[in-house]
Structure 1
Amino acid sequence: MIDFRYHIVSIVAIFFALGAGVVLGAGPLKGTGSELVAAQADKDRQQLADARAELVQVKALDKYRDDYVAKVTAGLTDGKLNNKKITLVTMPSADSDLSDSVQSELEKAGGTVSTKVSLDSKLFDTGQRQLVETLVQQLVTPDLDFPPNSTTYQRAGLLLARGVAAKEEGKSVDADSTKVISGLTGAKLLSLKPSPVKDRSSLIVLVAADPPSPAPDTSSYTDAVDFIKGLDMGSGGVVVAGTPASAGDGGLVKALRSDSDATKIVSSVDVADLPAGQMTVVFALAEQVTGKAGQYGAINAKNGVAPAAVQTKDN
């Protein structure tokens, strides 16, 4: 009985609402709805126009900033890397434009990118760990001493460094480096240009990729960070170049900076997609030659915008 009464009341309420709507529609509120809709549309259009104008302004300011760095500060990196050979290593999925921009700045500073190494995602696939370990054991050279308690990926980084780099300038490609390179490329863990390698470098720049979506946990980069530490141990210095995204959650640069052992020897720059950041990569690489390391950029970069040697005293 209660349910029946409830339905009767509901039906009456519906008809009452419909009747009221007809009366109001024909009365003093006629047209109010359409006017409200039109007013809201005008407001939305204005907000959209304002947003577009703001975007144009932001782009103009960004272009001014980049042009200023490129033109007014041009020449600040000249000669910083004279007579230095550099290996450019790109992480899987690293942006090719970012890599090209970094290479261009290294060459403007007098450096020579002697080898470009593209790492394959297979290298850091947990399912391939045994393959990596086996290769490290098979390819180790007589002059390569692995530190006690070093991890598989630290040793792998040292091994790659033995193939393409050295702690000093002027080390030539020999039978052992050729053996290392052939083994790593044969396993499809990486590719190189030129092939065969003509010159070993003393310095290494590694270009980081932006984090995938969803962002992985920092611990997922443990092997990559160990690999980078190995590269540094086998060369004259390493700088990791990335974007602000790479220094945020799920990024390689953030993972590197979370490793206290890594930050003592490896440098990083998290604004390498900007002209100023590319210059900072050069400054950081030159600092690596002196045996120092630093973390530079805009996102939780504990050492500031650039090495202290190139900042004004007031900064």
Structure 2
Amino acid sequence: MIDFRYHVVSLVSVFLALAVGIVLGAGPLNEGISTGITDQVRQLTTEKNALRAERDEALATVDAQDAWAEAVGPALVARQLGGRSVAVVLLPGADSSQVDATVGQLQAAGATVASEVTLQEEWFAGSQTAAADRQRVAAALADQLPTAPDADAGTEDLLAAALAGALVTTELAQAEEADDQGGTVLTTLSDAGLLEVQGGAGTAPTRATLALVVGGAGDTDATDAVRSSTADAWTALLRELDAASAGAVLAGPEESAAQAGPVAVLRSDDDLAGSVSGVDDLDSPIGRVNVVLALRQQLTGGAGQYGTADSATGVSPPLPATPSAS
């Protein structure tokens, strides 16, 4: 049995240890700990200031590059697309301000925008009801395709082919004519809630010879099944627009080249990336110049992947050769 003396000795030991700790903490140990913390704070402050300086320098560089692109952009793109027309297709998530700035750059290059359509979420929605509605519309439009569809063509292929036939052509002469059949296709797609046509779908469109598709960031929260079906629809759209025109370009901001983004999907398909150009810096003046130069390259049969993402093969398309003085 533990006696009273044991309790006294235990309490004395506890208080003695506490007193020693207080003395050491207020003396030599406190000095060492305080010095160590002070050194760490000083080091972290130095590192923070260095990172802030690097950030400010990087932002200043970007601002200077944007200012340069704004200044020389008109001269770089002037007459690059003279006499050509472009159909602009917006995917869900496309930034309207980036689209407006890009359209301005196309016009500065001498191109006209023949049409602008915005695909709605229903074009890609993964629900059974949405899929059934798309299948019904695709079946109704199949007879209006310029060529008979393949026997194994899916719904996304039929819709993409119908839209491409309404918006673009490979023949420059046909680009000057209104297309009544194309107007019917756009009205059908619009009435089904699959797209919106700028200015309304009631008039016959004038087809373009080039196509520009604009996207945004991918939906990383979507299920694998939805992401896969969306990627299939993007791929079908790009393939059909490219085949039915003199060339197609897909453009978006940096996020579009990240996981599940449309540019990332394009670049993951080697065959498609070899024919459809991708631009991943549409949120910068340089990117909008890249769009014009990429469309110009498409006219010569070339294609490339441009921008600042790791998946890009170059910063910008090559400048067209200028005729030498005689």
TM exceeding 0.5: yes
SS in structure 2 opposite 1:62? helix
Question: How far apart are residue 158 of structure 1 and its match?
Answer: 1.5
User: CA offsets, 1:102-136, max 9 Å, x none?
Assistant: 22221111112232211111211122222212111
SS in structure 1 opposite 2:278? strand
Question: How far apart are residue 222 of structure 1 and its match?
Answer: 1.8
Question: How far apart are residue 246 of structure 1 and its match?
Answer: 2.0
Q: Which moved more, 1:136-145 or 1:182-191?
A: 136-145
Which residue does the alignment assign to 2:306?
Answer: 296
Question: How far apart are residue 14 of structure 1 and its match?
Answer: 6.9
Question: How far apart are residue 276 of structure 1 and its match?
Answer: 2.3
The runs of 5 or more residues in structure 1 that have no matched partner are 1-9
| Inter-partner Cα distance in structure 1 for 2:233 and 2:79 | 35
Question: How far apart are residue 266 of structure 1 and its match?
Answer: 1.7
User: CA offsets, 1:64-98, max 9 Å, x none?
Assistant: 12222332464111001112221211111122232
User: What is the correspondence of 1:1-315 to structure 2 with a 5 Å cutoff?
Assistant: 18-30=18-30, 33=33, 36-72=36-72, 74-127=74-127, 128-142=130-144, 144-148=146-150, 149-169=152-172, 170-196=175-201, 197=203, 198-214=205-221, 219-220=228-229, 221-301=231-311, 303-308=313-318, 310=320
User: CA offsets, 1:142-201, max 9 Å, x none?
Assistant: 452144233321221111122333223425333322221111111111111121455332
Question: How far apart are residue 205 of structure 1 and its match?
Answer: 0.5
SS in structure 2 opposite 1:166? coil
- Checking the alignment, whether the CA contact within 8 Å between 1:77 and 1:283 is kept in structure 2 is yes
SS in structure 1 opposite 2:77? coil
| Inter-partner Cα distance in structure 2 for 1:240 and 1:56 | 31
Q: Structure 2 length normalisation: TM-score? A: 0.80
CA pair 105-19 structure 1, distance change in 2 beyond 3 A? same
| Inter-partner Cα distance in structure 1 for 2:148 and 2:207 | 20
- Checking the alignment, whether the CA contact within 8 Å between 2:179 and 2:206 is kept in structure 1 is no
Question: How far apart are residue 39 of structure 1 and its match?
Answer: 4.7
CA pair 12-135 structure 1, distance change in 2 beyond 3 A? farther
Give the superposed CA RMSD.
3.1
| Inter-partner Cα distance in structure 2 for 1:14 and 1:132 | 80
SS in structure 2 opposite 1:81? coil
- Checking the alignment, whether the CA contact within 8 Å between 1:151 and 1:226 is kept in structure 2 is no
Question: How far apart are residue 26 of structure 1 and its match?
Answer: 4.0
User: CA offsets, 1:280-307, max 9 Å, x none?
Assistant: 2111112222333332334355653344
| Inter-partner Cα distance in structure 1 for 2:278 and 2:13 | 69
- Checking the alignment, whether the CA contact within 8 Å between 1:211 and 1:246 is kept in structure 2 is yes
| Inter-partner Cα distance in structure 2 for 1:28 and 1:62 | 51
Q: Which moved more, 1:172-181 or 1:211-220?
A: 211-220
Q: Indicate the percent of aligned positions where both proteins have the same amino acid.
A: 31
| Inter-partner Cα distance in structure 1 for 2:304 and 2:21 | 71
The runs of 5 or more residues in structure 2 that have no matched partner are 1-9
Q: Structure 1 length normalisation: TM-score? A: 0.83
- Checking the alignment, whether the CA contact within 8 Å between 2:74 and 2:108 is kept in structure 1 is no
CA pair 308-145 structure 1, distance change in 2 beyond 3 A? same
How many residues in Structure 1 have an aligned counterpart in Structure 2?
Answer: 304
